[in-house]
């Protein structure tokens, strides 16, 4: 994974950390001021990235709220582990 990809991953993680994920009601409001429900809720979510067949990072989260139409995913209680390449 190149330096540019690491920078993008770090920026993504900083963005997620800066979001208030304590309440999904504060995330998205519709015109009638009611919360917009997520399009998908994933329990015990995990994802990983590889380079040349080797795992370079691994992310786990207790819950992920996915808004596919807006390309947004909010994570609850997440952990990221990086591996040496």
Query: In this predicted model, what pLDDT tens digit does every residue of 5-64 receive, in sequence order?
Result: 767 777 677 666 666 555 555 545 555 544 578 888 889 888 888 888 888 888 888 988
Tokens 């990072």 sit at which residue?
Answer: 57
Cβ atoms of 82 and 55 within 8 Å: the answer is no
Instruction: Kindly report whether the global pTM for this prediction surpasses the value 0.75.
Output: no
Instruction: Look up residue 59 and give its two tokens.
Output: 């992310």
Q: Examine the pLDDT at 3 and tell me if it is beyond 60.
A: yes
Confidence at residue 33, expressed as pLDDT on a 0 to 100 scale = 44
Tell me the HSE value of 30 on the side-chain side, using a 13 A CA sphere: 6
With a cut of 50, say whether residue 81 has pLDDT above it: yes
Distance CA 80, CA 18 (A): 16
Q: Is 75 exposed, middle or buried (0-12, 13-18, 19+ CB in 10 A)?
A: buried
């Amino acid at each position: 994974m190149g330096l540019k990809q690491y920078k993008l991953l770090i920026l993504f993680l900083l963005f997620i950390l800066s979001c208030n994920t304590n309440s999904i009601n504060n995330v998205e409001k519709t015109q009638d001021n009611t919360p917009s429900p997520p399009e998908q809720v994933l329990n015990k979510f995990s994802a990983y990235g590889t380079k040349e067949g080797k795992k370079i990072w691994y992310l786990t989260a207790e819950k992920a709220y996915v808004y596919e139409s807006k390309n947004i995913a909010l994570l609850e209680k997440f952990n990221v582990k990086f591996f040496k390449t």
